[in-house]
Structure 1
Amino acid sequence: MSRTRRMPMAEAVTLGLVATGAVSIAVAALTGAVSRATEIFASPVAVDLPVHDVKMPEITDAAGVASAELTQSVVTFETLDAGTRWLLFAESALPALATILVCMTLWWLGYSLIRQRAFRRSMVPVIGAAAVALVAAGMIAPLLGGIARAQAVEHLPASAADSFWTFLVQLDGAPIGWGVALALIASAFEVGRRLQHDTEGLV
Structure 2
Amino acid sequence: MNSRSGRPSMLEAVTLGLVATGAVSIAIAALTGAIRAGFEIFGSPVPVALPVHDAEMGSLTDAAGVASASYTQSLVSFETLDAGIRWLLLGEQALPALATIIVCMSLWWLGLSLIRQRAFRKSMAPVLGTAAIALVVAGMIGPLLGAFARAEAVQQLPASDGEFYAFLYELDPSPIGWGIALALVVSAFEVGRRLQRETEGLV
Q: Taking structure 1 as the reference length, what is the TM-score of the superposition?
A: 0.97
- Partner Cα distance (1:161, 1:15) in 2: 56
Which residue identity lines up with residue 149 of structure 1 in the other structure? Answer: R
Question: Please, which runs of 5 or more residues in structure 2 have no aligned partner?
Answer: none
The change in CA–CA distance for 1:201 and 1:161 in structure 2 (over 3 A counts) is farther
Asked whether the 8 Å contact 1:138–1:171 carries over to 2, the reply is yes
Alignment of 1:127-146 (within 5 A): 127-146=128-147
Q: Which residue of 2 aligns with 1:18?
A: 19
Asked whether the 8 Å contact 2:147–2:169 carries over to 1, the reply is yes
Equivalent residues, number: 202
Q: Which residue of 2 aligns with 1:197?
A: 197
- Partner Cα distance (2:25, 2:201) in 1: 39
Q: Which residue of 1 aligns with 2:56?
A: 55
Which residue identity lines up with residue 37 of structure 1 in the other structure? Answer: G
Q: Which residue of 2 aligns with 1:69?
A: 70
Q: Could you give the per-residue CA deviations for residues 91-128 of structure 1, whole angstroms, max 9, x where no partner exists? A: 01111011111111110000000000000110001000
Residue 161 (structure 1) shift: 5.8
Q: Which residue of 2 aligns with 1:153?
A: 154
Q: Which residue of 1 aligns with 2:180?
A: 180
Alpha-carbon RMSD:
1.1
- Partner Cα distance (1:37, 1:90) in 2: 9
Question: Please, which runs of 5 or more residues in structure 1 have no aligned partner?
Answer: none
SS at match of 2:74: strand
Residue 63 (structure 1) shift: 1.6
- Partner Cα distance (1:145, 1:161) in 2: 22
Q: Could you give the per-residue CA deviations for residues 73-105 of structure 1, whole angstroms, max 9, x where no partner exists? A: 000001101110010011011110111111111
- Partner Cα distance (1:64, 1:82) in 2: 46
Q: Which residue of 2 aligns with 1:91?
A: 92
Deviates more, 1:48-57 or 1:3-12: 3-12
- Partner Cα distance (2:162, 2:169) in 1: 18
Which residue identity lines up with residue 18 of structure 1 in the other structure? Answer: V
Q: Could you give the per-residue CA deviations for residues 139-165 of structure 1, whole angstroms, max 9, x where no partner exists? A: 11111100000000000011x262000
- Partner Cα distance (2:7, 2:105) in 1: 24
In the alignment, structure 1 residue 168 sits paired with structure 2 residue 160: no
- Partner Cα distance (2:147, 2:13) in 1: 45
Which residue identity lines up with residue 89 of structure 2 in the other structure? Answer: L
SS at match of 1:53: strand
- Partner Cα distance (1:157, 1:136) in 2: 34
SS at match of 1:175: helix
- Partner Cα distance (1:178, 1:109) in 2: 17
Asked whether the 8 Å contact 1:60–1:68 carries over to 2, the reply is yes
Q: Taking structure 2 as the reference length, what is the TM-score of the superposition?
A: 0.97
Asked whether the 8 Å contact 2:24–2:104 carries over to 1, the reply is yes
Which residue identity lines up with residue 142 of structure 1 in the other structure? Answer: P
Which residue identity lines up with residue 158 of structure 2 in the other structure? Answer: P
